[in-house]
Structure 1
Amino acid sequence: MKQSSLNRILTQGFGVLLGIGIAVWVLRGFGILTFIPGGVIWLLFLGAIATGLISYAQKTWWRF
């Protein structure tokens, strides 16, 4: 797998996780998705942050 395609997959994963996290957070705030625990929302946000950091590190530091 080329470095640019891996970075593209990581960047898309970051966007998807962040988008789902924000959507679930907003819908839970409106009372629509009240059955979803707060820990799931935290996991989505932390997963997005981790994916973004890995994408950044892969793009700038890892020169494989």
Structure 2
Amino acid sequence: MSQSSLNRRLTQVFGILLGMGIAVWLLRGFGVLTFLPGGIIWLLFLAAIAVAILSYVQKTWWRF
């Protein structure tokens, strides 16, 4: 897999995780998904941040 396609894939995963995190957060705030613990929302946001950092490192570090 080339670096540009890997970076594109990581960016897509970041967008999906961030979108899911925001959607779950909003639905929980509106009272639709009240059964979900707050830790799941934190995990989605932290996973999105980790993927964004990995995407940045992959783009700037030539050996990765």
TM-score (structure 2 length as normaliser):
0.95
Tell me the residue number matched to 1:41.
41
1:33 counterpart SS class:
coil
Unaligned runs of 5+ residues in structure 1 are none
Identical counterparts, % of pairs: 73
Shift of 1:60: 1.1
The reply on whether 1:23 has 2:23 as its aligned counterpart is yes
TM-score (structure 1 length as normaliser):
0.95
**RMSD over aligned Cα, in angstroms?**
0.6
Alignment coverage as a number of residue pairs: 63
